[in-house]
Structure 1
Amino acid sequence: MNREKRMNRRSFIKRLVAGIGGLMLFTGLDAFFIERHLLRRRDIEVPLADMPDVFEGFRIAHFSDVHIGHGFTASDLESLVERINEAKPDMIAFTGDLVDDGMEELAATTEALARLHAPYGKYAVLGNHDVRGKAQPEQIIEAYQKAGFMPLVNQHVTICHEDAEASFTLAGLDDNWRHPDWETTFEKRHGDGLVIALIHEPDLADRAKEYGVSLQLSGHSHGGQVRLPFVGGLLYPPYGCKYPDGLQKVEDSSMLVHTSRGIGTTILPIRFLCPPEWYILTLRKK
C-alpha cells in the first residue's frame, strides 16, 4: 500500500512538473509570437471642464512607443496607419520612442507615418529611447517633419476650431533625459484655457499640473509589458510607475493623464496579458 502511494505521489509530481513546464512554454510562445502582434484599438471618453463647447466630440488618435528595430519594423506600421486613417480622427498625437535600435529604418518609417491624415494636424514628441544610445534625436525630429508631423520640443501651438472663434493649447516637452524646458513650453503661451500636453514620461504629470495642464498624453511605461492576474505590470521604468496605464486623475488636482501601453517592446520582444494598443480619445465637456 505504501509503495502504491509513493508511485501515485511520483506520478502526480511528474504531471504537475509537466503541466507547469507546458504552461511556461505556452506563455513564452504566446508572449513572443502571438500577443505582441495583437494590435487593438481602444476608445476612451475624456471629460474636461475647461474645454470650449465647440470641441465637444473632438477625437484624438493617440499612439506611442513604436520602438522600430526591436522586433518591430517599418513595414509593421502599415496596419496601424491603415486603422488610424479608417478611424478618421480630428488630430493625431504620438508620444515618443519612435526608434529603439532601428535608425537604419528611419526613412521607411517616415514614409509609413507620412500616410497618416488628420484635419487638425499630426504632432509628436521625443521619448527617452529617441535621445539615448544609438538614437540621433535631430534626425528623428527631421523624420517627423518629413512625415508631416509637427515635432513639439519645448514648444506649444494653438489649435483653432475651423468653424468658430475657439481654441486650445497643445504643448510638447522635450524628453526628460535631454533638455526639458518647462517655462518655455508652458509659461509663455497666450490665454488660460484648455491645455493638452504631450509628455513621454507619465509621472511628470505631477509637475505638469503646476502649469495649468488639463490633460497629459504619455507613453513610456508599456503598461508593464508583462502583466499577471491580480498583480498587474511586473516592471515599470523610472517616471512610469505612478500613472502607468490608461486614463487616471493626477494626485491633488483635477488634471487627467492618459498613458498608452504602446505599440512596440523594449528589453525583450515580448508582451503577456498586455497587448499593443492605440487609442481614440474623445473629448467631452464636463
Structure 2
Amino acid sequence: MKKLLMLIVVVITLLYISNSRIQTTEIIVESDKVPMSYDGVKILQISDLHDATFGENQENLVEKIKKTKAELIFITGDLVDSNRYNLDQSLELVRQIIDFAPIYYVTGNHEIATNDTENINNSLTELGVNVLSNEEQIIEHKGEDIRIIGIEDPLNGVLVSEALSQFADNDLFTLVLSHRPETFQDYVENKMDVVFTGHAHGGQFRLPGLGGLVAPGQGFFPTYTAGMYTENSTHMIVSRGLGNSAIPFRIFNSPEIVVVTLKSI
C-alpha cells in the first residue's frame, strides 16, 4: 500500500511539473542576411496557449515573458482552444504583455475551428496586435528593413504552399509566422529565412532518446516537434507550446516559451 501511495505521489508530481513549470528555451539564428542593426535582436515566441492559465491573471507566464526583454513578440496560433472556447481568458495574456514589445499574430487551427476568427482577429487588433492573414509587413530599425510574414492556418482553405508563393523571391531577411511545422519543405522551397511554428505540442509525451510520441498532422514519432530544424538557408523553429487540447496533459514536456536571438555573420 505504501509503495502504491508513493507511486501515485511521484506520478502526480511528474504531471504537475510537466504541465505547469514554464521553460524558457533560447535559440541563436545566424545568417548573413540579418542586417547589422538587427544583430542581437531577441524575438519571443508564444504558441499553443489553448486557454491555459499560469497563475492569477497569467502572472507566472507574464513574469517569464518580461524577463526575456524581447524586442519582438510572435504568437503562432492556438491562443484559444475550440473545445473550451474562452476568448476573454485568452486575451488576458495579451492585455498583460501588449506594452512589452510589438506583437505579431497568426491563426492556428483552433481559432478557425471556433468559426469566430473575425471576432478573434478584431479583438486582438483592438488591443494593438499586428494580425497577419497571409500578408507581410516591412519593419525598419536604424535605416534597415526586414520582412515579417504571417501565414494563416490551412484549415481556412488555403494551403501553406499557396499562401507562401506570393512572398517568394525577395532579398529582404524574412521572418515567417506559421502554425504548422509539418509543411517544412514548403518553407524551404520558398526560401524563407526563419519560420516560427508550433502545433506539435512537443510530441505531447517526450520519451528519452526518442523525442515526441505523437503530433497532429504528423502522427506517431513525428519528425518536427521541438527546437530548430535547418535545410539550405531555411531555419524552422518549433515551439513545444504552453497548453494542451485533446490530450489534456504532457509528460517530460514542460510548457515552453522560445527566445530567438538573431546574429549577423
Fold shared by both chains (TM-score > 0.5): yes
2:138 is aligned to 158
1:167 is aligned to 145
SS in structure 2 of the partner of residue 131 of structure 1: helix
Give the Cα–Cα distance (whole angstroms) in 2 for the partners of residues 118 and 72 of structure 1: 20
RMSD between aligned alpha carbons? Answer: 2.6
Question: How far 1:187 moved relative to its partner?
Answer: 2.5
Cα pair distance change 1:170/1:108, threshold 3 Å: same
Give the Cα–Cα distance (whole angstroms) in 2 for the partners of residues 208 and 267 of structure 1: 27
Which residue of the other structure, out of 225, 231, 239, is the alignment partner of 2:204?
225
Cα pair distance change 1:232/1:190, threshold 3 Å: closer
Question: How far 1:143 moved relative to its partner?
Answer: 2.5
Which residue of the other structure, out of 24, 37, 41, is the alignment partner of 2:20?
37
Residues 57-83 of structure 1: CA deviation (Å, up to 9, x unaligned) = 011011100001xx6479463322232
Residues 81-118 of structure 1: CA deviation (Å, up to 9, x unaligned) = 23212322110001001111332x31243243122146
Between structures 1 and 2, the one with greater strand share:
2
Q: Where does structure 1 lack aligned partners over 5 or more consecutive residues?
A: 1-14
Pairs within 5 Å for 1:1-286: 25-26=8-9, 28-68=11-51, 72=53, 75=56, 77-100=58-81, 101-103=83-85, 105-117=86-98, 121-132=102-113, 134=114, 136-161=116-141, 163=142, 165-180=143-158, 187=166, 191-239=170-218, 241-250=222-231, 253-286=232-265
Q: Tell which deviates more after alignment, 166-175 or 77-86.
A: 77-86
Q: Do 2:66 and 2:100's aligned partners in 1 also have CA atoms closer than 8 Å?
A: no
Q: Do 1:97 and 1:130's aligned partners in 2 also have CA atoms closer than 8 Å?
A: yes
| Aligned pairs, number | 261
Give the Cα–Cα distance (whole angstroms) in 2 for the partners of residues 157 and 120 of structure 1: 16
Question: How far 1:231 moved relative to its partner?
Answer: 2.4
Give the Cα–Cα distance (whole angstroms) in 1 for the partners of residues 46 and 204 of structure 2: 15
Give the Cα–Cα distance (whole angstroms) in 1 for the partners of residues 200 and 73 of structure 2: 20
What amino acid maps onto 2:146 in structure 1?
F
What amino acid maps onto 2:64 in structure 1?
R
1:9 is aligned to none
Q: Where does structure 2 lack aligned partners over 5 or more consecutive residues?
A: none
Give the Cα–Cα distance (whole angstroms) in 1 for the partners of residues 245 and 9 of structure 2: 21
Q: Do 1:60 and 1:280's aligned partners in 2 also have CA atoms closer than 8 Å?
A: yes
Give the Cα–Cα distance (whole angstroms) in 2 for the partners of residues 77 and 239 of structure 1: 31
Of all paired residues, the percent bearing the same amino acid is 27
Question: How far 1:138 moved relative to its partner?
Answer: 1.7
Cα pair distance change 1:51/1:23, threshold 3 Å: farther
Q: Tell which deviates more after alignment, 203-212 or 186-195.
A: 186-195
Q: Do 2:72 and 2:101's aligned partners in 1 also have CA atoms closer than 8 Å?
A: yes
Residues 159-197 of structure 1: CA deviation (Å, up to 9, x unaligned) = 111x2x211110011102113365565535894221111
What amino acid maps onto 1:147 in structure 2?
L
What amino acid maps onto 1:38 in structure 2?
R
What amino acid maps onto 1:276 in structure 2?
P
What amino acid maps onto 1:139 in structure 2?
N
